[in-house]
Amino acid sequence: MWRKSVMNFRGFIRSFVENKGLLWIFVIGISGWSTVSILVLLKTRYETDSTTIGVSTAYSRWINTFPSIGICLTKSRAFNEFKAMMREYFQEDFAFSFTRMIYEYAFLNPNNIFTKEPTKNTSYPYNFNILDIRRKMFPTNCTECFKEIYFRGELVTDCEEIFKFHVTEMGYCFLANNLLDYDSIEEMPLRYSSLDNNRSLRLYMRSSVMYKYEMYVNSPEDLPFFNSLTYTISTDPTTYAFNVEEIHNHEGVIDEPISQRKCKFPSESSIEGFPYSFSACMSIIRSEFEMKTCDCSLFNPKDRST
């Protein structure tokens, strides 16, 4: 009975001068003044929109859910390294142009398209399956990507408690606080209250020549999709700050017809086990469209863990 949206405006990015070599540090901070901005926002809503009642302005104690954080793998320019890895896996030396093509396909997503005609090389006995290549060569265990994680200033020893692996239409991603993994926001690991002074998530990433990381910040029901705002994670330690606005609907709202309220709740999904959201809907429609027109798609909504 709730909907949540994340305002990622007002993000300020501060790069520290200090560069810690291989460590990629960035912090997602939610600063205290964001609460004040939310109150102001609610007040404005209350004054301009007769259907919104800003009762939350009276809360002196509250618990809020951190947004969903997605860390997705994206391509770098490691064609030679990829060639070497292909050699190791298949015990065979492939032509550079061929491995490059496989590399490009492995990182294919709606924002990262490869328009060249596939090179046909009949001298290879393999029937190259891009999903297989991804499974063999890219990490699916968060320990391979996350070096250290701190939430509210405390070290999280097991990254799997927070980041769950999923395949989205943007490729291989580790998602935190996403409704794909939890039945309700109350069960999510990243929550903070009025009593927490340190409302930050700090991530130290492991660097790889094979891929780079891209960060997505969205509501817990949303998935990284082609139209999401992304934040490229560089080697410079960077801080991002976000305002979080959480909207609680009255329980009775779900009894209103969908045509009347003009939106759906995450539980009202057309695909079983998939929380409904605009982004999930877009990804599913894209996948269906691709299957219809080309009989292939890298994203299969029914199989999100391979």
Ligand X SMILES: *[C@@H]1O[C@H](CO)[C@@H](O)[C@H](O)[C@H]1NC(C)=O
Residue with Cβ nearer ligand X (200 or 283): 200
Query: What's 109's DSSP letter?
Result: B
Find the part of the chain contacting ligand X (CB under 6 A) among 117-125, 186-194, 212-220, 243-251. 117-125
- Phi-psi category of residue 119: left, alpha or beta, with phi > 0 → left and psi -120 to 50 → alpha: beta
Binders of ligand X in range 11-50 (CB under 6 A): none
Residues 6+ apart with CB under 8 A from 154: none
Closest CA to 139 of 69, 215, 226, 213: 213
Supply the minimum distance, in Å, between the C-beta of residue 283 and ligand X: 24
Is residue 121 a contact residue for ligand X (CB under 6 A)?
Answer: yes
With binding defined as CB under 6 A, does residue 141 bind ligand X?
yes
In the bound state with ligand X, the residue whose beta carbon lies nearer, of 146 and 225, is 146
Q: Between 105 and 150, whose beta carbon lies closer to ligand X? A: 150
Buried b (16+ CB within 10 A) or exposed e, 263-301: ebbbeebeeeebbbbebbbbbbebbeebeeeeeebbbeb
Show the binding pattern over residues 192-231: x = contacts ligand X (CB under 6 A), - = does not: ------x-x-x-----------------------------
Q: What is the DSSP code string of 50-108?
A: TT---GGGG-SS-EEEPPEEEEEEEE-S-HHHHHHHHHHHHSSPPPHHHHHHHHHHHT-
Look at the alpha carbons of 217, 218, 219, 220 in this order and tell me if their dihedral is positive or negative. Answer: negative
Using the rule CB under 6 A, is 119 a contact of ligand X? yes
The answer to whether 150 contacts ligand X (rule: CB under 6 A) is yes
Write down the least CB distance from residue 97 to ligand X, Å: 6
Instruction: Kindly state whether residue 306 participates in binding ligand X, applying the rule CB under 6 A.
Output: no
Size of the site for ligand X (CB under 6 A): 14
Q: How far apart are CA 8 and CA 256, in angstroms?
A: 30
Minimum CB distance to ligand X smaller for 125 or for 257? 125
Is residue 114 within the footprint of ligand X (CB under 6 A)? no
Tokens of 38: 């939310």
Q: Which residue is nearest to ligand X (CB)?
A: 153
Q: Which residues of the shown chain bind ligand X in the complex (CB under 6 A)?
A: 94-95, 97-98, 119, 121, 123, 141, 143, 150, 153, 198, 200, 202
